[in-house]
Structure 1
């Protein structure tokens, strides 16, 4: 059986910014899949590649033509298609003519006329001639530009397009460029290459001979292997490795050095300067300390003067960094705090000086809730007042990524090793990042994130869709991770209300009840996602959300419920609570009058309820949630016996109300742990 034809599309252009390449490669694959399938062109596989100067699509196993298809098209109703004499009307004739079928071929179904239309599939070449420019034009462009006299926009000016269906050129024109089978090699090679057919191995091989590794995964691996070979102790950060992968087509490593006097700078300053400005990989010693060496990845440049050029550039960069550091170090960090009053925090939420004061007061509130010692509270107060001060230093102005880290370095003179909490208060900065480890770092981190969350929600700056310009999802994820990791009980209604009040006149027109409701819903979405990622089922998550004010309680209870779902007694517990909740919903009170308990079964249930209430309360207080749930399960048989023997809806309203109050009290006892009726068993 003959193999199916393949498609090769390459868009050659000027250098695309590295930060956009991963998303473009993914989008190219997605758009190609969507448009091929919507045009009835099935395929076996799709691969996409990218270098700074090209985007490539390879589709394997396409058909030579679209499949023929038969379609039944609905026409006029039967009563309109015939006149009074039983003859076909012009409406029926016009319908047949419109779709190119004879009147005799029309048929009736469900009181409507239908036409069966046979549509011949078009040759794949013809479809692709209009489809390929459509794919290119549809790519998401974070930035775009026009060039020449063309109205067409693309991320960078297009210089060539290769479009091959097997050995045939798919002819089209886009942005004044006609498709062909001619591509270009490395910019320094300046060689035009003819691609004879849509064979990905041949395509890759020809480009590699012309100085281009077109497959980004191969470039990534080559760069990583090269660095490890010439500098085994180099610091290889994945985000930098990805960026460099899309900066070069033919990676070549060079070990360079700089003056050892710059080693007096904090390690992260050296790393950030090399990474941000020059995309260098620092080389560490055997103990993980910085050395005066680094690896530069060139785009195929192997001349001796390349090393000298890189060394001169980094020397200038580090000289600037040293100047900033030395100048900043002349002033104590605490003396910079007043300058925060001149820096806006967020439009409508005051300045950073005001935020610092709120963090200071909120940290004290949280520290008290955590029952910290006076010594730790005193340190937390100092950290809170200094935590934003480095934002007005020259170093952070030049390297914003060093916020927090520079505060830590500059505050060592005043706080010694405790200054690390300034850096920690920004943690976690992203998914999977470290959490703060010191008590002061934990408290100030929570205070900072809660202050930002309350402020933004207080002025209705609530994230919508995937957009989150203020980092509120990150802040909430950080709050959740810190609280559950360190088992810190913090009642959200209390701490959020305190944070809201600290804004004073800034949020004087705000509504705390509305703000709190919106924040709680926002937190619920984030917590639900975290729990489901950890294997907690949707129904268990819903059941555990009965007490969302305490994140740690909800988190721990969800994990306990997931574990206990398989216990023999759990099904009865769920069914009992569900039944009790439904009937007790009409109760007008929850106070039980013991003298109104008439039947023996309700008296027994009341006694068991009292004992269970104490046992469950003690277990919950001690955070022994499995014991609490087991104690609740002891209500199953007495409740079922109660329903079997006792008429709840008694004709005497006083007795009826008392029985409903008993059931409502039992329901409230269940709800201290979870809403068990939502669990699917």
Structure 2
């Protein structure tokens, strides 16, 4: 079958840089899907030698398909109808069932045939040229692009993310004749806005990339441009004996802003290095899209690297222009710093009354008071400095009232740290200003200072209990206050920090700090369940089976550190040869006890033990109750389950030889009490019946 290269390019005004890569990827995925639907069941075979790749630059979305089959092969369409035995009546006339089938097929009864006892309709479907189908596939893919808000321009009713300006569609050397988004397809593309602002005529789809780059000075491949920028930035950093710091998000953005990237290095005055480095970095990154440079120790150097969308004949002039632009930006940061330092963080506490945290939960000042009380409680529980925890919490949101954080919101916490040190606050209190937001994302570092730990936990729990208390928990995929992340953050801090904290206790204090809230009744239980449920994804990420998590959740230990120890112990227990049999036995015991309404461990009467197997099990259970007591005190759940595994043979013998539901009521109840004691030994760690 003949194959040709296919080109689609839609020229536009400058596309939104942060969305460019996702638009390109979606275009490729949807066109691929459309082609597979077109070629049907033979798609994988027909497209096995085809390579589909999308391209994206500031003023274009494009797609090139190499070796695209030029036609959809002909086929035979077959539809199966009613059995032949009911197709005709006794007189040989077609039945209503057969006539209905013929109408459905758009055929006459005479066109039907019997195959293997059933009536069939067969029709040859002729081959059809792919070129006729491509416009519809492209149009559908464009309609599906993830564009939050489409726009119209001029008098046109066409909608897209940006106004469209040209359309190139070629299959081999032929134009795919169509109209898309009000544009007539052609064979011309356009070059770089400054280097070659002219049309480039393409004689064949296969020459698109080469001509666009060599003639038009446009690198259409997003990934190629990205790596070119990375290499240039790294080289520029080395030229000043530094290390260019490449933020992936910024790298993607500048890749989407440039068609012909050229990296240049500028310099700023060293006096600006007195400003906290992150403030300078934020200013350079957010406002100018510059990469910063550090020395080998990670100290910021007075250089920046910018990406120009032009190969200038006088790069020194371009550099001078960028240095002129960045100077007032950095001067603003220095001004904000000096202005902010004239007021202490403490003096800004009352200003928090002017900021509403949430309309039903009051101001940031009210939140600060609640968080301070809970942080003090946490510090007391951990036998830490209560004053420092309370002090850190009261100051925690005050940097939001500074000019620097107002201008650069991502510096909140970090500027609080610097301002607290400037105010003469205790270093641990200052560290807590930044650590309160840790962990900011999955895998992020955790707070290390004692006040930082207390405030980070207290702040998240205050938000969790408050929003549950006004009946605004996360729903489905919507979590506007990032409560899932907050809950997971608390668990990480406690577990990885090996903190002896009880969630039930902390939540109770947090709820009481809020006072009366509309949904406060039952809020403690809801928040606790919500937080413990976060462990599910945690352990799935560690490769621990969900039933292990569920076995521990069933007994609901409220101390995260203990919860984690139990999960690790049960996960180890599953590797033992006795685990499967004991899990099944526990499930059987659980079913028996629940049916009989036995929930507590009753006492066992030695006089009512008759069968040797039940005497052996009773003795073994009693011995374990004594020997395991110290291990329960120590919380050594792994050792506990390893010792309980020794009971397997005694449990198996009991169920093989003993009738639990004896006719004698007293004997039956005594055996139920024995099983209850056995089950409670395991429940001291987890409900291992969940493993069965």
TM-score over 0.5 (shorter chain): yes
Deviation of 1:468 (Å): 2.5
Deviation of 1:138 (Å): 1.5
Q: Deviations over 1:199-233 (max 9, x none)?
A: 3xx32222222221111211121111111112132
Contact 2:2 2:69 in 1 (8 A): no
Q: Deviations over 1:455-476 (max 9, x none)?
A: 2222232333433322222212
Contact 2:604 2:674 in 1 (8 A): no
Q: Select 1:606's aligned residue among 618, 636, 641.
A: 618
Contact 2:470 2:520 in 1 (8 A): no
Q: Select 2:542's aligned residue among 534, 538, 561.
A: 534
Aligned counterparts of 1:361 and 1:255: Cα–Cα separation in 2: 50
Deviation of 1:678 (Å): 2.8
Deviation of 1:310 (Å): 1.1
Q: What are the within-5 Å matches in structure 2 for residues 586-665 of structure 1? A: 586-589=595-598, 590-595=600-605, 597-599=608-610, 600-665=612-677
1:387 aligns with 2:399: no
> What residue is the counterpart of 1:435 in the other structure?
446
> What residue is the counterpart of 2:210 in the other structure?
205
Aligned counterparts of 1:308 and 1:434: Cα–Cα separation in 2: 39
> What residue is the counterpart of 2:262 in the other structure?
252
SS of the counterpart of 1:273?
A: helix
> What residue is the counterpart of 1:129 in the other structure?
135
Deviation of 1:527 (Å): 2.1
Aligned counterparts of 2:113 and 2:472: Cα–Cα separation in 1: 59
> What residue is the counterpart of 2:180 in the other structure?
174
SS of the counterpart of 1:147?
A: coil
SS of the counterpart of 1:57?
A: strand
> What residue is the counterpart of 1:671 in the other structure?
683
Contact 1:166 1:197 in 2 (8 A): yes
Structure 2 unaligned spans of 5+: none
> What residue is the counterpart of 1:29 in the other structure?
28
Aligned counterparts of 1:318 and 1:97: Cα–Cα separation in 2: 78
Q: Deviations over 1:625-648 (max 9, x none)?
A: 321111111222222222223221
Q: Select 1:576's aligned residue among 582, 585, 601.
A: 585
Q: Deviations over 1:397-435 (max 9, x none)?
A: 111111111111111123243211110110111222221
1:277 aligns with 2:287: yes
Alpha-carbon spacing, 1:569–1:182, altered in 2? closer, same or farther (3 Å): same
Q: Deviations over 1:145-166 (max 9, x none)?
A: 1112222221111111222223
Q: Deviations over 1:362-418 (max 9, x none)?
A: 11222233x223xx3221111111111111111111111111111111111232432
Larger mean Cα displacement after TM superposition, 395-404 or 414-423: 414-423
Deviation of 1:520 (Å): 4.6
Aligned counterparts of 2:400 and 2:72: Cα–Cα separation in 1: 61
Alpha-carbon spacing, 1:334–1:110, altered in 2? closer, same or farther (3 Å): farther
1:147 aligns with 2:153: yes
Larger mean Cα displacement after TM superposition, 394-403 or 186-195: 186-195
Contact 1:364 1:380 in 2 (8 A): yes
Q: Deviations over 1:282-301 (max 9, x none)?
A: 22234322222211111125
Deviation of 1:82 (Å): 5.6
Aligned counterparts of 1:592 and 1:97: Cα–Cα separation in 2: 76
1:294 aligns with 2:294: no
Deviation of 1:113 (Å): 5.8
Aligned counterparts of 1:516 and 1:81: Cα–Cα separation in 2: 69
Aligned counterparts of 1:457 and 1:26: Cα–Cα separation in 2: 38
1:356 aligns with 2:365: no
Larger mean Cα displacement after TM superposition, 107-116 or 224-233: 107-116
SS of the counterpart of 1:586?
A: helix
CA RMSD of aligned residues (A): 2.6
> What residue is the counterpart of 1:219 in the other structure?
225
How many equivalent residue pairs?
A: 671
Contact 1:66 1:121 in 2 (8 A): yes
Q: What are the within-5 Å matches in structure 2 for residues 6-17 of structure 1? A: 6-17=5-16
Alpha-carbon spacing, 1:81–1:464, altered in 2? closer, same or farther (3 Å): farther
Contact 1:345 1:355 in 2 (8 A): yes
Alpha-carbon spacing, 1:90–1:611, altered in 2? closer, same or farther (3 Å): closer
**Deviating 4+ runs (over 6 angstroms):** 76-81, 108-112
Alpha-carbon spacing, 1:118–1:494, altered in 2? closer, same or farther (3 Å): farther
Contact 1:20 1:142 in 2 (8 A): no
SS of the counterpart of 2:462?
A: helix
Q: Select 1:326's aligned residue among 309, 330, 338.
A: 338
Deviation of 1:71 (Å): 4.2
Larger mean Cα displacement after TM superposition, 475-484 or 440-449: 475-484
Alpha-carbon spacing, 1:591–1:429, altered in 2? closer, same or farther (3 Å): closer
> What residue is the counterpart of 1:451 in the other structure?
462
Aligned counterparts of 2:508 and 2:122: Cα–Cα separation in 1: 68
Aligned counterparts of 1:167 and 1:218: Cα–Cα separation in 2: 26
Contact 1:560 1:625 in 2 (8 A): yes
Deviation of 1:15 (Å): 1.0
Q: Deviations over 1:333-356 (max 9, x none)?
A: 011011111101123221111111
> What residue is the counterpart of 1:544 in the other structure?
552
Q: Select 2:109's aligned residue among 103, 106, 113.
A: 103
SS of the counterpart of 2:262?
A: strand
Aligned counterparts of 1:345 and 1:553: Cα–Cα separation in 2: 33
1:115 aligns with 2:121: yes
Contact 2:135 2:180 in 1 (8 A): no
> What residue is the counterpart of 2:485 in the other structure?
474
Q: Deviations over 1:236-276 (max 9, x none)?
A: 22221121111111111111122222221111110111111
Q: Calculate the TM-score normalised by the size of structure 1.
A: 0.92
SS of the counterpart of 1:297?
A: strand
1:161 aligns with 2:167: yes
Contact 1:588 1:661 in 2 (8 A): no
Aligned counterparts of 2:70 and 2:491: Cα–Cα separation in 1: 55
Contact 1:12 1:53 in 2 (8 A): yes
Aligned counterparts of 2:452 and 2:212: Cα–Cα separation in 1: 52
Larger mean Cα displacement after TM superposition, 217-226 or 413-422: 413-422
Q: Deviations over 1:144-198 (max 9, x none)?
A: 2111222222111111122222322222212211122211121112022223333
Deviation of 1:65 (Å): 2.1
Q: Calculate the TM-score normalised by the size of structure 2.
A: 0.90
